[in-house]
């Protein structure tokens, strides 16, 4: 009796898990079901069809580099508790995550728009953070940075400080310890954080819509095509976005899982 009860509950749990899994993959299945190869080829043969893809990839790569450069030290200091008032820093990191992307876009206008101090300073350098490529990078950074900092902080927190101390005692300086111990041990977590950040940057839309309508990246191209010519014309670009945005996170996730098992 007891054995059959356990089997029934295991079966129910499996069924529930299957329903959730199928539901999560549902949109992807629907996309593939509604697209024909001919529609994809025809959409991509239009003049300038690849321009949004190039813009999105370039902007996301730059955003990723900025986030990596500025977010990594912050994530490490957060993980090691070396910042004064750590909760305050955490709130600062989480805030862009909790704020709706459209609101982030609106607020960015007041921060980096043409009539702000930063906007004027950029103007002196012949730059603008409104409806430009730079604006697209800024919007992507704001939408994606919390994902990286929180993920990287968790990865660094998983590296035992005793191991860094051991490296120091064996003669390594800080930078060498970081390179030989901290980063290799945090690498699986960092890879996951970076992959999610890449996906968020590639798909950034809310803040982009407000401050970087031009030049079109892929999400904006999908939106504009949807508005102008309808769902069926937008779907090929949605597929391209998925094909470009997803392989890196999926590969990083698989590598990260394998690397964790080896440690």
Partner 1 sequence: MLVLVADFEVARREFPVRLAVQAEAGERLAILGPSGAGKTTCLEAMAGLLPLSAGRISLEGRQLSRAAEPGSDVRAGHRGVGLLRQRPGLFPHLTVLENICYPPGASPARARQTASRMGLDGLLDVRPRGLSGGEAQRVALCRTLQTDARLLCLDEPFSSLDSALGIELLELVRRELVEVSAVLVTHQLGEAQAFADRVIVLARGQVLQVAGPRELVLRPNSARVAEMVGYRGFLRCGSQVLAIHPERVHALGRQDGAGGISARVVKVRPEGGRVDAEVEAEGEWIGRFHCRFDEAPELGSTLLFGAPDAPQFSGAEALLD
Q: Which of 94, 163, 231, 251 touches partner 1 by CB under 8 A?
A: 163
- Max Cα-Cα span within the chain: 80
Q: Does 228 bind partner 1 (CB under 8 A)?
A: no
Q: Which of 4, 126, 169, 227 touches partner 1 by CB under 8 A?
A: 169
Rule CB under 8 A: which of 172-211 touch partner 1?
172, 176, 180-181, 184-185
> Could you give the dihedral angle defined by the CA atoms of residues 93, 99, 105 and 108, in that order, rounded to the nearest 10 degrees?
-40
Asked whether the beta carbons of 156 and 76 are under 8 A apart, the reply is: yes
Task: In angstroms, give the least distance from the CB of 104 to partner 1.
Answer: 38
Nearer to partner 1, 181 or 218 (CB): 181
Nearer to partner 1, 98 or 169 (CB): 169
Alpha-carbon distance of 242 to 35, in angstroms, equals 13
Residue linked to tokens 């954080």: 193
Binding residues for partner 1, total number by CB under 8 A: 17
Alpha-carbon distance of 211 to 130, in angstroms, equals 5
Q: Is 7 left (phi over 0), alpha (psi -120 to 50) or beta?
A: alpha
Task: In angstroms, give the least distance from the CB of 79 to partner 1.
Answer: 18
Q: Does 168 bind partner 1 (CB under 8 A)?
A: yes
Contacts of 234 (CB under 8 A, 6+ apart): 222, 223, 225, 226
Residue linked to tokens 């809310």: 206
User: Could you give the string, one character per residue 95-124, with x where binding to partner 1 holds by CB under 8 A and - elsewhere?
Assistant: ------------------------------
Q: Does 167 bind partner 1 (CB under 8 A)?
A: yes
Residues forming contacts to partner 1 in the complex (CB under 8 A) are 162-163, 165-172, 176, 180-181, 184-185, 262-263
């Amino acid at each position: 009796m007891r054995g059959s009860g356990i089997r029934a509950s295991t079966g129910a749990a499996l069924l529930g898990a299957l329903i959730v899994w199928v539901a999560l993959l549902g949109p992807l299945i629907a996309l593939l079901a509604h697209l024909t190869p001919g529609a994809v080829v025809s959409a991509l043969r239009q003049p300038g069809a690849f321009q949004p893809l190039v813009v999105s990839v370039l902007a996301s790569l730059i955003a990723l580099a900025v986030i990596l450069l500025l977010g990594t030290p912050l994530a490490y200091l957060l993980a090691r508790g070396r910042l004064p008032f750590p909760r305050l820093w955490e709130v600062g990191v989480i805030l862009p995550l909790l704020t709706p992307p459209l609101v982030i876009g609106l607020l960015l206008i007041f921060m980096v728009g043409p009539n702000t101090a930063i906007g004027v300073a950029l103007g002196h350098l012949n730059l603008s953070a409104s409806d430009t490529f730079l604006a697209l990078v800024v919007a992507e950074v704001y939408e994606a940075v919390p994902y990286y900092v929180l993920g990287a902080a968790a990865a660094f927190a998983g590296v035992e400080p005793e191991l860094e101390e051991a490296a120091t005692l064996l003669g390594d300086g800080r930078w060498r310890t970081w390179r030989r111990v901290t980063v290799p041990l945090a690498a699986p977590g960092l890879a996951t954080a970076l992959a999610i950040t890449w996906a968020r940057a590639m798909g950034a839309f809310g803040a982009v819509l407000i401050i970087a309508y031009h030049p079109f990246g892929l999400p904006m191209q999908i939106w504009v095509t949807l508005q102008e010519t309808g769902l069926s014309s937008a779907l090929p670009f949605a597929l391209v976005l998925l094909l470009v945005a997803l392989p890196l996170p999926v590969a990083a996730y698989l590598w990260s899982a394998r690397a964790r098992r080896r440690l």
